[in-house]
Structure 1
Amino acid sequence: MNRLLKTSTAVGLALTAMGSPAFADMDAARAFLDEHIGDLSVLTREEQETELQWFIDAAEPFRGMTINVVSETITTHEWEAGVLAPAFSAITGINVTHTLIAEGDVVERLQTELQTGESVFDMYINDADLIGTHWRYQQTRNLTDWMEGEGADFTNPYLDLDDFIGLDMATGPDGKLYQLPVQQFANLYWFRYDWFTDPEIQADFEAEYGYPLGVPVNWSAYEDIAEFFTGRVIDGQTVYGHMDYGRRDPSLGWRFTDAWLSMAGASDLGLPNGYPVDEWGIRVDENYRPVGSCMSRGGATNSPAAVYSIEKYVNWLNDYAPPQAAGMNFSEAGPIPAQGNIAQQIFWYTAFTADMVDEGLAVVNEDGTPKWRMAPSPHGTYWQEGMKVGYQDAGSVTLLESTPVDRAQAAWLYGQFIASKTVDLAKSHYGLTFVRDSTINHESFTERAPRLGGLIEFYRSPERDLWTDTGFNVPDYPRLAQLWWQNIGDASSGAVTAQGAMDALCDQQDAIMERLGRSGVQGEFGPQLNEHQDPEYWLEQPGAPWPKLDDEKGEPITIAYDELIQRWTE
């Protein structure tokens, strides 16, 4: 099925090269349905045509207009740009230029438009991690009011918001929806199921470590497993017990802001994000005004648990990952496990699933089933029950106030189209980044589930709701996110210690937040930093920041994969 959909992408790219057809009617819609959708829709053919007829009618005022859309380059967005954009243009007469660039560049372009007020793109597809930014600056059209106001006549009556699984992530403290998810993926643990269930390997591990080889529940067990596999020769190749990346690159920042500190146990208890201290180590008051990220202000960015999380990252990268991993970024490191010599990866995005299931790969059996599985990521020694367990990305439609109304209306039509019930099932089979319950529960994914390594079981489980994006505490995602990769890059390269990197990071975060607070640009919800105090004062208070543990290794714990799957399915 994946191969067939990739063929469809090639056809779509050809359509783009030819330019948009000069007609917009049901003939174009039917040709698109025949060519690209077929049976891969949760709607009947009649319902599909009804929905597409609505798009044709709604688009009538904008025919001939060209809109510019930007998103990061991942498999799902490639299908949108290569198949759905030219199809939408043919069906509606609205020409779409869907540009694919690196995620860091998407954030940079969005930041530029927020700062200058000059329209750069008519629609951004960017992470709902920016919810704290959008809510505070009020330069983003909140879709709740938009769908009842200027966007009312252009809001699909068949959109069915109740069918979306990630709306909470894109909803502000004011209860308004600021973005519409069009792709979503989680950060989970990846491992070679065939090796972990091999009797000889199991026996060797238990003889050496004194407990069963299984899915690691905590970092202590993960470290043991990484040590055990590194240097082991399996099927004639030398194996590594861990995979990661370390290049000074914006993607290195996401490696940590995507909940690594909370997985270590640095944040407060509370879901969907720690409160009052979140997974970035930022403390807020009762009105979600940031008051600091350094321990001296009550934050946890440079706390013992945060430093422990960086030390483990650096040690594992140096000791258990392939030597070239230290020079890789997110995109370069992602395909490496598919080459067949990686035993496990603690920080693995399900967005890579689509590229891990092709026939002929070293990690796929002859019958098409995977040799690998996914499971919940293990947690650090500081982690406690009730803390955030993992990260989930929700790439979402974002309409800025600086975009002229008519262009925003036309772009809104395209945003709804790429997440519509007509197309979402086919798109999800290609990219495997789910946003709709109806898609996740479709029988076609029941049939395909055995080939996807636990992905469908995870997304059909209520536990998926425990994986969340960056929350409200981060007041300016673009400005603060760029500090992470620069400082952690220093720790990754060995230029500074983990403590030195996190001390510098929290100082820089607090300096930016202090300037934001003084400027008043974020109004009553902007930062109002606490005065500095001896960090010991905060370490003695309940909650984060947590005092340093005498034993940061802890007792290793593993669990059988089949037991985990049973928990997900029940």
Structure 2
Amino acid sequence: MNLRLLSTTGVMLALSGPAFADIEAARVFLDAEIGDQSVLTREEQEAEMQWFIDAAEPLRGMSINVVSETITTHEYESRVLAPAFTAITGIQVTHDLIGEGDVVEKLQTQMQTGENVYDMYINDADLIGTHWRYQQVRNMTDWMAGEGADFTNPDLDLDDFIGLASATGPDDKLYQLPVQQFANLYWFRHDWFTDPEIMAEFQEEYGYELGVPVNWSAYEDIAKFFTGREIDGQQVFGNMDYGKKDPSLGWRFTDAWLSMAGASDKGEPNGFPVDEWGIRVNDNYQPVGSCMARGGATNSPAAVYAIEKYIDWLQNYTPPAAAGMTFSEAGPVPAQGNIAQQMFWYTAFTADMVKEGLPVMNEDGTPKWRMAPSPYGAYWEEGMKVGYQDVGAATLMQSTPVDRAQAAWLYAQFIVSKTVDTKKSHVGLTFVRDSSVRHESFTERAPNLGGLVEFYRSPDRTRWSDTGLNVPDYPRLAQLWWQNIGDASSGAKTAQAALDALCEQQEAVMERLQRSGVQGDLGPVLNEPQDAQYWLDQPGAPAPKLENEKPEPVTIAYEELIQRWQE
């Protein structure tokens, strides 16, 4: 059933209105939409829907407003699940879809003004450091034991969620409830990488086997090898990326690019005391610096190396138009069939990569491409963060009236309920529940998803994490990244100059937070600046410049890698 039909079904349910808020509305929804794509039996599904009906009774007739970024999963929630929830519970939900940067801006406005802009935000758990310090969102742990207790599904089963750590503070309180998540992995054309003629030619030219690159040295060789070739009648490029000076360019780098290069300290889920943003904290998670002069690593040799490699590959091995593209514009390009590999690829694009008739799909429904762990840079060492995972999560602000927050909380639980989560996972392929990814329907579908199911069934899935606790004010600091990296990407500044400016601006924001005292004992306490060499001489980040930033290239056969995941 296509999305348009599903949307129509949802609208028909919604038109039934609050008067039809009973189990019959739920049965219509279950018949038309869920079927056997649920970890629950039909009897269990109806029991869960009855709980929602009963819990919503005192709130029936209310209208609430929810906002999220525009990705396939949230489109499904907005077009299908929100109308179904309305029909089943009698609570009218308007689920707006806007850009990710706009979501953060709206949330920041509500934080600053105290006015209730939205009753619930579905935004990244990247803001955990912000929420924990400002205490302007309801922490779910206390909420579920207090004002939200009567509206908390007894079968919510938090232990089934795979991304709770990303939304949990050092106080062991859960600040957001994950509703979708996707990892940043490596994407490549498996059919080309296993073509005997191409493999032999690569072996002859580079002296080692063509395979999944383990480090950036191999990635660069492969990018150079494929760029300019003609395969299947079109010119091929060995890399895909984007470079427009736009908020999404900031995510391209805050989403762990520096730690993938090796700029951070060891430690999972985030480097400690220096994280993937290059921000150093003390033992109490109070930020103490971003520049090397204060012990940070945002402008360190490893960070400069990371930016320079990005620019080099963007200029030399990527379609020229990519330099003017945003995240959303660049995402679908590999599906057009002329990209050999992509280092920085989000699994959120999987749903759009497996559509019938695409140049990257076989006639039998299997993909010509695969996904694998991203390779690491020259400064990376075992124990450092390996990659980023976006965890989009339901967030309830303290400034939202209690009854509206209770209604929004019911909606949040509905869209991740065991009744609907497996079906939603099939639509958007952004897993939040272990039970869904292990459902037999995904065992059957796994060969068509290029390694996604194997990744999410492996222990590796917990090693990819979102922005951590070191970032004290995500909305203010994140906007500095795209502006400064854009200067480097456009050639207006060198990578070193851009990162020097970035770390200084981050420290200026943190200094204002320190002076204001708004974050209390959790806020920044900046170190006194001193010669950067002092910190370069200390163990860990920031690390001194390597004499050789292109070590021996290493590759691995995809089949060997996937076997590790399966074991």
Query: Fold conserved (TM > 0.5)?
Result: yes
Instruction: Verify: 1:279 aligned to 2:276, yes or no.
Output: yes
What residue in structure 2 maps to residue 412 of structure 1?
A: 409
Q: Distance in 2 between matches of 1:107 and 1:502?
A: 23
The answer to which of 143-152 and 12-21 deviates more is: 12-21
Q: Distance in 2 between matches of 1:9 and 1:133?
A: 37
Listed as ranges, the matches of 1:33-72 within 5 Å are: 33-72=30-69
What residue in structure 2 maps to residue 487 of structure 1?
A: 484
After superposition, the C-alpha distances for 1:523-546 in whole angstroms (9 at most, x for unaligned) are 101000001100000000111000
What residue in structure 2 maps to residue 378 of structure 1?
A: 375
What residue in structure 2 maps to residue 312 of structure 1?
A: 309
Q: Secondary structure at the match of 1:266?
A: coil
Aligned amino acid, residue 281 of structure 1: G
What residue in structure 2 maps to residue 516 of structure 1?
A: 513
Instruction: Verify: 1:545 aligned to 2:564, yes or no.
Output: no
What residue in structure 1 maps to residue 442 of structure 2?
A: 445
Selected match of 1:28 from 25, 29, 35: 25
Quick check: 1:25–1:91 contact (8 Å CA) kept in 2? yes
What residue in structure 2 maps to residue 436 of structure 1?
A: 433
Q: Distance in 1 between matches of 2:9 and 2:524?
A: 46
Q: Secondary structure at the match of 1:59?
A: helix
The answer to which of 12-21 and 43-52 deviates more is: 12-21
Q: CA deviation at 1:10?
A: 3.3
Q: CA deviation at 1:9?
A: 3.4
Q: Distance in 2 between matches of 1:10 and 1:225?
A: 43
After superposition, the C-alpha distances for 1:143-165 in whole angstroms (9 at most, x for unaligned) are 00000000000000110001000
Q: CA deviation at 1:313?
A: 0.4
Q: Percentage identity across aligned positions? A: 78
What residue in structure 2 maps to residue 151 of structure 1?
A: 148
Selected match of 2:124 from 107, 124, 127: 127
Q: Distance in 2 between matches of 1:495 and 1:101?
A: 31
Q: CA deviation at 1:23?
A: 2.0
What residue in structure 2 maps to residue 176 of structure 1?
A: 173
Q: Secondary structure at the match of 2:156?
A: coil
Selected match of 2:335 from 323, 326, 338: 338
Q: CA deviation at 1:61?
A: 1.1
Q: Secondary structure at the match of 1:422?
A: coil
Q: Distance in 2 between matches of 1:29 and 1:271?
A: 42
Selected match of 1:291 from 273, 280, 288: 288
Q: Secondary structure at the match of 2:342?
A: strand
Aligned amino acid, residue 50 of structure 2: Q
Quick check: 1:20–1:86 contact (8 Å CA) kept in 2? no
Aligned amino acid, residue 262 of structure 2: G
Q: CA deviation at 1:508?
A: 0.2
Aligned length: 567
Q: CA deviation at 1:18?
A: 5.1
Q: CA deviation at 1:42?
A: 0.4
Aligned amino acid, residue 332 of structure 1: E
Q: Secondary structure at the match of 2:238?
A: coil
Q: Secondary structure at the match of 1:381?
A: coil
Distance 1:101 1:13, change over 3 A: farther
TM-score (normalizing by structure 1): 0.98
Q: Distance in 2 between matches of 1:22 and 1:431?
A: 31
What residue in structure 2 maps to residue 501 of structure 1?
A: 498
Quick check: 1:124–1:399 contact (8 Å CA) kept in 2? yes
Q: Distance in 1 between matches of 2:19 and 2:505?
A: 53
Selected match of 2:91 from 94, 108, 112: 94
What residue in structure 2 maps to residue 533 of structure 1?
A: 530
Quick check: 1:12–1:84 contact (8 Å CA) kept in 2? no
Aligned amino acid, residue 221 of structure 1: A
Q: CA deviation at 1:15?
A: 3.9
Q: Distance in 1 between matches of 2:13 and 2:72?
A: 17
Quick check: 2:18–2:91 contact (8 Å CA) kept in 1? no
Aligned amino acid, residue 430 of structure 1: V
Q: CA deviation at 1:554?
A: 1.1
Distance 1:134 1:25, change over 3 A: same
Q: Secondary structure at the match of 1:153?
A: helix
RMSD, aligned CA: 1.0
Quick check: 1:8–1:83 contact (8 Å CA) kept in 2? no
Q: Distance in 1 between matches of 2:243 and 2:309?
A: 13
Quick check: 2:18–2:60 contact (8 Å CA) kept in 1? no
Selected match of 2:205 from 205, 208, 228: 208
Quick check: 1:184–1:394 contact (8 Å CA) kept in 2? yes
Quick check: 2:10–2:81 contact (8 Å CA) kept in 1? no
Aligned amino acid, residue 179 of structure 2: V
Selected match of 1:255 from 245, 252, 257: 252
What residue in structure 2 maps to residue 362 of structure 1?
A: 359
Quick check: 1:5–1:430 contact (8 Å CA) kept in 2? no
Gaps of 5+ in 1: none
Instruction: Verify: 1:75 aligned to 2:67, yes or no.
Output: no
What residue in structure 1 maps to residue 229 of structure 2?
A: 232
Instruction: Verify: 1:568 aligned to 2:561, yes or no.
Output: no
Aligned amino acid, residue 226 of structure 2: F
Instruction: Verify: 1:558 aligned to 2:564, yes or no.
Output: no
